[in-house]
């Protein structure tokens, strides 16, 4: 029997942004979250990867393994981010080498042990939490390119009324026939390529009544200037710092479908 809740907070993509993580945890508690979930990718772009873990543990956050966590935990050669563009690969390698080198062995072991999915009940809804998609950890499900019939099939195949995922870096949601839903909960590690410096996480509430699901995307302010300063001190790429300071992505752009890319600056 899975755990049952009525109000939860869920986020993805911490990307070593320990300042946003701290702010998210505090904000989620203030908003009455009974439990807090993270859908993976603890490391990447940001500084001091080890600072994330004590916060997750202290707040009892339940964590699903992301592709980054799987790679770091299993000593793989790359992040399994799936880039083919040479420029994106260059930055992905830099970021991965930094994060791998600065993550302590006990945290690597913990990431290796993380589950690839979690199931809970939220009110009347059977919830399945994954990183990319239920069928593949590093599958990108974008709003503009994911057909509704495919999401419906996933809810059927995996016996879920509500599927929660992250991985793409941009939050979105879709109501499906039969009071079912797919929600990309967003990431708290970097802005959503929207020209805003805040990051995004998701609060979800439901009761036992039909159509009672409420999904709220929360814009989360944190000390992004301090994060940028720490990144500079760690000699992380100026391209990553620019994203933190402007809200526009400067790398990992090739993965974006045309519609999502046209919303950004680059």
Give contact residues for Fe ion (rule: CB under 5 A).
41, 66-67, 167
User: Based on CB atoms, which residue is closest to Fe ion, 167 or 180?
Assistant: 167
| CB 13, min distance to Fe ion, A | 7
Comparing CB distances to Fe ion, the nearer of 41 and 230 is 41
Nearer to Fe ion, 205 or 243 (CB): 243
The residue with tokens 């890319």 is 261
Nearer to Fe ion, 80 or 229 (CB): 80
Compute the least distance from the CB of residue 83 to Fe ion, in Å: 12
Residue 73: HSE in the Cβ half-sphere, 13 Å Cα cutoff: 18
Residue whose C-beta lies closest to Fe ion: 167
Q: Are 18 and 38 in contact (CB under 8 A)?
A: no
Closest CB to Fe ion among residues 130, 220: 130
3-state SS assignment for residue 153: helix
- Give min distance, CB of 36 to Fe ion, in A: 19
Rounded Cα gap, residues 98 and 47, in angstroms:
9
CA-to-CA separations, 132 to 57, 114, 186, 234, 266, in angstroms, rounded: 23, 15, 11, 29, 24
Shortest CB 178 distance to Fe ion, Å: 29
* Planar angle of CA 32, 37, 40, nearest 5 degrees: 150
In the bound complex, what is the minimum distance in angstroms from residue 133's beta carbon to Fe ion? 11
Whole-angstrom Cα distance, residue 40 to residue 49?
13
DSSP 7-37: EEEEEB--TT-HHHHHHHHHHHHHTT-SEEE
Q: For Fe ion, which is the closer residue by CB, 167 or 171?
A: 167
| Pairing outcome for strands 180-184 and 162-165 | parallel
**At closest approach, how far in Å is the CB of 129 from Fe ion?**
14
């Amino acid at each position: 029997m899975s755990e049952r809740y009525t109000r939860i907070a869920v986020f993805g993509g911490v990307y070593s942004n320990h300042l946003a993580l701290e702010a998210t945890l505090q904000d989620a508690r203030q908003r009455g979250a009974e439990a807090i979930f993270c859908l993976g990718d603890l490391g990447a772009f940001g500084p001091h990867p080890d600072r994330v873990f004590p916060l997750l543990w202290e707040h009892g956050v339940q964590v699903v393994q992301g592709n980054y966590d799987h790679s770091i935990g299993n000593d793989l050669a790359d992040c399994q981010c799936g880039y083919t563009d040479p420029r994106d690969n260059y930055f992905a390698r830099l970021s991965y080498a930094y994060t791998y080198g600065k993550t302590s062995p006990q945290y690597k072991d913990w990431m290796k042990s993380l589950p690839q999915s979690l199931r809970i009940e939220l009110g009347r809804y059977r919830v399945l939490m994954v990183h990319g998609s239920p069928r593949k950890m590093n599958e990108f499900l974008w709003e503009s390119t994911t057909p509704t019939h495919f999401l419906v099939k996933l809810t059927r195949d995996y016996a879920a009324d509500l599927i929660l995922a992250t991985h793409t870096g941009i939050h979105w949601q879709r109501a499906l026939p039969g009071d079912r839903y797919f929600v990309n909960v967003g990431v708290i590690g970097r802005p959503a390529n929207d020209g805003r410096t805040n990051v995004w996480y998701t609060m979800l509430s439901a009761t036992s009544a039909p159509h009672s699901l409420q999904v709220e995307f929360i814009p989360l302010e944190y000390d992004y200037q301090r994060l940028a300063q720490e990144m500079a001190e760690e000699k992380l790429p100026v391209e990553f710092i620019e994203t933190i300071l402007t809200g526009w992505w400067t790398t990992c752009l090739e993965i974006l479908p045309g519609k999502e890319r046209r919303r950004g600056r680059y």
